Structure 1
Amino acid sequence: MEFIKIENGFSILVNGKKIITHTLERPWIYAGKGEATYDMFRGNFKIKDYLIEKVALDDFEVYKNVDGVIVTFSKRGLNSLKVLFTVEDERTVVKFLENPDKLNRLWLRIDAEKEEHIYGCGEQFSDFDLRGKNYPLWTSEQGVGRNKNTYITFKADERGNAGGDYYTTFFPQPTFVSSRKYYCHVDSSVYMDFDFSHEEFHELQIWGVPEKLIFETGETYVKLVGKLTGLLGKQPELPEWVYEGVWLGIQGGTEVVLNKLENALQKGLKVGGIWAQDWEGIRMTSFGKRLMWNWQWNKELYPKLDVKIKELRERGIRFLGYINPYIAVEGDLFKEASKRGYLAKNNNNEDYLVEFGEFYAGVVDFTIPEACEWYKGVIKKEMIDFGLSGWMADFGEYLPTDVILNNGVSAEIMHNAWPAIWAKINREAVEEAGKLQDVTFFMRAGYTGSQKYCTMMWAGDQNVDWSLDDGLASVIPAALSLGMTGWGLHHSDIGGYTTLFEMKRTKELFMRWAEMATFTAIMRTHEGNRPKDNWQFDSDKETLQHFAKMSRIYTTLKPYTKALVKENSETGVPVQRPLFMHYEQDKRAYDIKYEYLYGRDILVAPVYEPGKAVWKVYLPEDEWVHLWTGDVYRGGEIEVDVPLGKPAVFYRKASKYVEVFKALTEI
């Protein structure tokens, strides 16, 4: 870090890159006070801020000490903030030391360049390059449709404020990566809004005074993401059984599940696991089939499941379930938690109940150490000891801002942090059971810290349609943006999840989604919220044959996929990568969000529109072999045939896995 005095101010350089400039005429810091209101309905938020004051803290005094440079910013001596610019573990750190006037709004301006690209900010579904827009960072339901200009989102907003927008996400994070090859991370969980729409600066709006900002540079994007995961944490390798086939999302009880499994196996489907999210029981609502949130085996719906799990394991097929951090009022676990005082409270010191769509649940208060131990005990006893090899650790983004937590910290501050705390509960339960090499879990909600606790992310509840903002295409930038935020393992519900209004999953959509999922770390189906309205993997013979073929491609890729997951665990380089990660000089690569590199050696360009027989693909300069024809291309924009079962996939001719890739054409 270099602190350089300039006329009427100073600049901060990180390895020669100018990151912060402050002058009397162009201050980098603005501060003030505001009062926020948060209205939540079923995980969807309307957030407003009453801004009391905002002033430029252009006056400054500089002091040097052994730790670095201390600067006190103020406006004619008022609204002062004391800030330390220092270096810790070879990272440039900006620490906020004193806030005597109790300011709770900051606007920080980071130097920008006109042609700069910005990536990250957690999981972003509508955009990959974030330049040109602002992004509120608040974990919530991602929303139905996520585009205010569409009929679906209009109808969803009309019905319960559930429509979402281009920035709504389960997994936001105050971290971005610049094409100038540095990252910026804000160490705080308050509401923030990162604005990348200005040519000369990026403005970070923070509803509080954070502990610190962290900057670090890298010679390459591979090294830069590696450094970022060195700060935030890395995911462990996945259990060996994960690579043995599809995780079939099936519901309906022991007989239904086993019959569907046997039919699939007879048709040649490679199955690694059964994911039965209703293992603990169901309830029906106007939204569709929902689950009974009492995390214990439902013997009526799943008779003899304890025996069947063992039998399936002997055949090489694992059984996975479902859990979330809330417990339904009807269940035994709610009564036990309430009696022990483990539930978060309302203003009347009563158990806070959250409405989840025609039923209510309590919030397990993870700020109570004994409550954490109790909930980990539920996971270990009712799930791991029972024989589950994994589960969906759902939700985490619903924490209401008016809930009273035991630690005394405002839920407004704890809200964003909650998904990572939920991930920590699951991870510790698995580790304490000694099962990290055998048991895995996957989540949709996340925040800073999820990287070192969660074992796998999934993209959440996409629509069962072709929409760019919330359909098949949206999970591509979602995976890429998470990869640039330090998260390397990602997958999605094959075919999507949400069926509302006129939406229904079609045969073609399911088959195209399955083709994309083949080239991800995990292949998993979901019946959706209204299974009878949706096309399923076994709805007809052709679909099942297609799905079986893709599952065999997935398992044949095992040595390659396993190596990618290992690389992610060791270096932090994501499994799904943007093209520019390995082709930095290719200017076109920085704008591509609907293609990805699967590791270093495979390029995937999923078909995300219906009725396509030919698909346009952009290839960075290299020798690329078309998987199905063997034709060699050396870069540029091309067109290839994409019949169902033969998606637009290419591999590098120089790859050491060429023989593995060639074997795919024989399936």
Structure 2
Amino acid sequence: MRIQTTSDGFDLILDGTVLLRHRSDAPCLFAGRGDARIAMYRGNFDIEDYVIERVPLRHAVVSGPEIAFSEAPGQPVRLVLRVAGDDRNGSVAFRADDGAINRIWLRIEAERGEHVWGGGEQMSYFDMRGRRFPLWTSEPGVGRDKTTEITFKADVTGRAGGDYWNTNYPQPTYLSSRRYALHVETTAYSAFDFRRDGFHEIEIWAVPERVEFTARPTFVALVEAMSDRFGRQPPLPEWVYGGAIVGLKDGARSFERLERIVAAGAKVSGLWCEDWVGLRHTSFGARLFWDWKANEDRYPGLRQRMAELEDRGIRFLGYVNPYLAVDGSLFPEADAAGYFAKDENGNTALVDFGEFECGVVDFTNPEAAAWFAERVIGQNMLDYGLSGWMADFGEYLPIDVTLANGVDARLMHNAWPTLWAEVNARAVASRGKTGEVLFFMRAGFTGVQRYCPLLWAGDQSVDFTRHDGLVTVICGALSSGLLGNAYHHSDIGGYTSLFGNVRTAELIVRWAEMGAFTPVMRTHEGNRPRDNLQIDEDPEVLRHFARMTQVYVHLVPYLKSLVAEASSRGLPVQRPLFLHFEDDARTYAIQDAYLYGPDLLVAPVWQAGRTEWTTYLPKGAEWVHVWSGETYAGGSDVTVAAPFGQPPVFHRAGSRFGDLFAGLRNL
């Protein structure tokens, strides 16, 4: 990366691409101060910023690798940037000579027609161009569309409606169609603004440590570089390939229901019972009892049951999150040791999680983190016999607590999901079970990739809606996959059922069709199981689900090749079409279809009442419709029949897995 000076500024160039263009009348850097107001209510945040000062730093003096910025010649230097790197990787380190600065705005050179992707796990828009994206881990919201009734009701009742940019997993990283990536190394609140033709504006509520740039000649190489940068995940456990992980939370009856599902022909690799810890009942629905140990009143003889299932190739999975209920057995133990975050008076901070209170285990305290990893996950879960779990609620760190490391909670909030993932990974490694035990998370931030073996898409509504339904899962998989998260999946049938919104049989059917073409296939009963249709309550739904699990297992040889590729190269299993067809500009904005590895194209039916489906097939290949065997030329839209059980899936003509794909027609 090099600085090219001009008579009135400079250009910062990486591998021939201009990234920063500074002129006195068009500065690339602004600095100032702001006073933020951040209020949290059960994981939902209301954030406002009063900008006290925003000043363009028009005067830049280049001295070797350093650039000193001031408001005008003769004025004090306010920021110094130090440039480093080669022709593939570069960084710009920040130093504030003015200690009052707590806001930075950096303008990145942009081109008309440019596309940008990333931002962590984005659920509404894959191509981020044309919109502003705040990056703050939170509940994603119910509905996530301010024009809808369900979002309005969620906002009124609990400030929980959300918007298009709300996400459990933000990350200040994006990839550009100009074949470079940008990453901001900070945990502060930030925002990416892609609304202008000539520049992208990066807003950061702190002086960042640095901004990193990566350039590669192809998108594949750029994605590989992202995985190298943020961490490589272990391969999926071998037991996962046995079929779906069935989510039931019905106490001892879960085992009886599992037998009916297996008897219907379903291939099952795991039984996931998040209620293994017991239940409490709230107005939201049945909630788990947040005291992380087996409740043998609800699950009598659980250890023996788990061992019997494992003998049949079916693993047992549970649930955990980083908070402890005040009325549980673990709370006094952690409280006596001083392991909780504190309030402003130095007492244990208590957080309302919806009709019950919890303490926040302070993972910035090494002793607290080690205690949770060993005492809770190690002893109560791994030693008990669990093979995996949902590691939930990484986005909930309140911003008004005091932490052991002395860092403002507003700066630790985004970092919290990564600390939580590290605690889980440490516990698994302590038992020598990395790559055998599978935990999955919805919350994330920079660096979560190196600890979390599997993402899940969070709590979609039980519907086909554009911003909170089935289709958002695809966008989440594609955006996060570009940043080193190779494995992604979702709750088949969705999760959130509120205000009379309930599952239909069609929704479960279509979601299961998509789930068969993802790395892990898993069901969930949702937040209100009794109000919603379950996979074992309708014979036709169960028959269809069983067949989709057979599709998943049939494709295991292909999936294993993708897992091997993820391990060696960091490429995600689910990929945007442009990753392998970068010369086809039509693929750049497609977010409702994906490549399952290099050879399968999957275009899930994500709207109700459809029996035909139209999708785009990239040019540069011929495509075979897996159900009919008909061949189509790439480079155009095609419409195919899409009855239940035949989701629109195509494979490349000439694939070495062609016979395997053709075998899907016999299932």
Task: Provide, for residues 331-350 of structure 1, a one-character-per-residue CA deviation record: whole Å limited to 9, x for no partner.
Answer: 11111000000000000111
Which of 420, 423, 437 is matched with 1:439 structurally? Answer: 437
Are positions 1:74 and 2:73 aligned together? no
* 1:642 aligned residue: 642
SS of aligned partner of 1:159: helix
Give the aligned partner of residue 47 of structure 1: 47
Q: Which residue of 1 aligns with 2:313?
A: 316
Separation in 2, partners of 1:47, 1:511:
38
For residue 399 of structure 1, give the secondary structure of its aligned residue in structure 2. coil
Tell me whether 1:369 sits opposite 2:366 in the alignment: yes
SS at match of 1:144: coil
User: What are the within-5 Å matches in structure 2 for residues 17-416 of structure 1?
Assistant: 17-64=17-64, 69-76=65-72, 77-78=75-76, 80-87=78-85, 91-254=89-252, 256-377=253-374, 378-416=376-414
Write the distance in 1 (CA, Å) between the matches of 2:557 and 2:469: 30
Instruction: Tell me the alpha carbon deviations over residues 585-632 of structure 1, each in whole angstroms, 9 at most, x when there is no partner.
Output: 111111211000000000000001111111111101211110100000
**Aligned-partner residue type, residue 659 of structure 1:** D
Aligned-pair CA distance for 1:98: 3.7
Matches within 5 A, 1:485-634: 485-621=483-619, 622-634=621-633
Deviations 1:617-657 (A, max 9, x none): 11012111101000000121111001101110111112111
Q: Distance in 1 between matches of 2:641 and 2:19?
A: 46
Between the aligned partners of 1:133 and 1:346, the Cα distance in structure 2 is 37
Deviation of 1:100 after TM superposition, in Å, equals 3.0
Shift of 1:90: 5.0
Which amino acid letter does the alignment assign opposite residue 625 of structure 1? V
Q: How does 1:400-479 map to 2 (within 5 A)?
A: 400-479=398-477
Shift of 1:78: 3.6
Measured after TM superposition, the shift of residue 61 of structure 1 is 1.7
- SS state at 1:143 partner: coil
Give, in whole Å, the separation in 2 of the partners of 1:28 and 1:487.
31
Q: Deviations over 1:41-91 (max 9, x none)?
A: 000000111111110011122211xxxx11110113246111101117952
CA distance in 2, matches of 1:417, 1:478: 20
**Deviation of 1:19 (Å):** 0.5
Deviations 1:400-444 (A, max 9, x none): 111100111000000000000000000011011101132110000
Task: Tell me if structure 2 keeps the 8 A contact 1:79–1:103.
Answer: no
Percent identity reads: 52
The answer to whether the Cα contact below 8 Å between 1:181 and 1:220 also exists between their aligned partners in 2 is yes
On the 8 A contact 2:15/2:88 being kept in 1, the answer is no
> Partners in 2 of 1:279 and 1:522 — Cα distance?
21
Matches of 2:247 and 2:17 in 1, distance apart? 49
Give the Å deviation of 1:539.
Answer: 1.4
Whole-Å separation in 2 of the counterparts to 1:516 and 1:85? 45
TM-score (norm 1): 0.98
Q: Contact conserved, 1:79 with 1:101, CA < 8 A, in 2?
A: no
Report deviation, 1:198: 0.4
Q: Is the 8 A contact 2:230 2:483 kept in 1?
A: no
| Equivalence for 1:652 | 652
In structure 2, C-alpha distance between the alignment counterparts of 1:152 and 1:353, rounded to whole Å: 30
Residues of 2 paired with 1:661 and 1:432: CA distance?
40
Q: Which moved more, 1:88-97 or 1:188-197?
A: 88-97
Separation in 1 of the partners of 2:97 and 2:219?
36
User: In 2, are the aligned partners of 1:119 and 1:178 still within 8 Å (CA)?
Assistant: yes
Output the amino acid matched with 2:488: H
CA–CA distance in structure 1, aligned partners of residues 129 and 118 of structure 2:
11
Q: What do the CA deviations read for 1:193-248 (whole angstroms, capped 9, x no partner)? A: 11000000000000000000000111111100101111111111011001111100
Give the match's secondary structure for 2:45.
strand
Structure 1 residue runs of 5 or longer lacking an equivalent are none
**What is the DSSP-based 3-state SS (H/G/I as helix, E as strand, rest coil) of the residue aligned with 2:274?**
coil
Partner SS for 1:202:
strand
Q: Deviations over 1:436-486 (max 9, x none)?
A: 132110000000010111010000000001101000011111111111222
Q: Residue 519 of structure 1 contacts residue 598 of structure 1 at CA under 8 Å; is this kept in 2?
A: yes
Shift of 1:495: 0.4
CA distance in 2, matches of 1:506, 1:90: 50
Give the structure-2-normalised TM-score. Answer: 0.98
SS of aligned partner of 1:52: strand
Contact kept? 2:390, 2:441, Cα under 8 Å? yes
1:11 matched residue in structure 2? 11
Opposite residue 512 of structure 2, the aligned amino acid is A
Partner deviation per Cα, 1:172-213 (whole Å, 9 max, x = no partner): 000000000000000001000110000000000000000000
For 2:546 and 2:305, the matched residues in 1 are separated by 23
How well do the aligned residues superpose, as a CA RMSD in angstroms?
A: 1.0
Contact kept in structure 2, 1:31 and 1:79, CA below 8 Å? no
Cα shift readout 1:307-365 (whole Å, capped 9, x = no counterpart): 11011000000000000011111111111000000000000111111111111111000
| Contact map agreement 2:614 2:639 (CA 8 A) in 1 | yes
C-alpha displacement at 1:397, in angstroms?
A: 0.4
Q: How far does the alpha carbon of each residue in 1:93-150 deviate from its partner, in whole angstroms, 9 at most, with x for none?
A: 1001343333100000000000100000011111010000000000000000001111
- The 2-side partners of 1:335 and 1:562 are apart by 45
On the 8 A contact 1:185/1:213 being kept in 2, the answer is yes
Paired with 2:39 and 2:2, the residues of 1 have a C-alpha distance of 44
Q: Once superposed, which parts of structure 1, at least 4 consecutive aligned residues long, lie more than 4 Å away?
A: none
| Preserved contact between residue 123 and residue 171 of structure 1 (Cα < 8 Å) | yes
Do 2:43 and 2:138's aligned partners in 1 also have CA atoms closer than 8 Å? Answer: yes
AA aligned opposite 1:235: Q
Match of 1:279, SS state, is: helix
State the secondary structure of the residue aligned to 1:563.
helix
- Give the Cα separation in 2 of the matches to 1:101 and 1:370: 33
Deviations 1:536-591 (A, max 9, x none): 11111111110110000100111111111221122111111111111111111112
Say whether the 8 Å CA contact 1:103–1:208 is kept in structure 2: yes
Q: Residues 79 and 412 of structure 1: is their aligned pair in 2 closer, same or farther, counting only changes over 3 Å? A: farther
* CA deviation map 1:499-535 (0-9, x unaligned): 0002000000000000001000000000000011111
Tell me if the contact between 2:279 and 2:288 (Cα under 8 Å) persists in the aligned partners: yes
SS in 1 for 2:275: coil
Tell me the secondary structure at the aligned position of residue 569 of structure 1: helix
Deviations 1:375-421 (A, max 9, x none): 00110111111000000000110111111001110000000000000
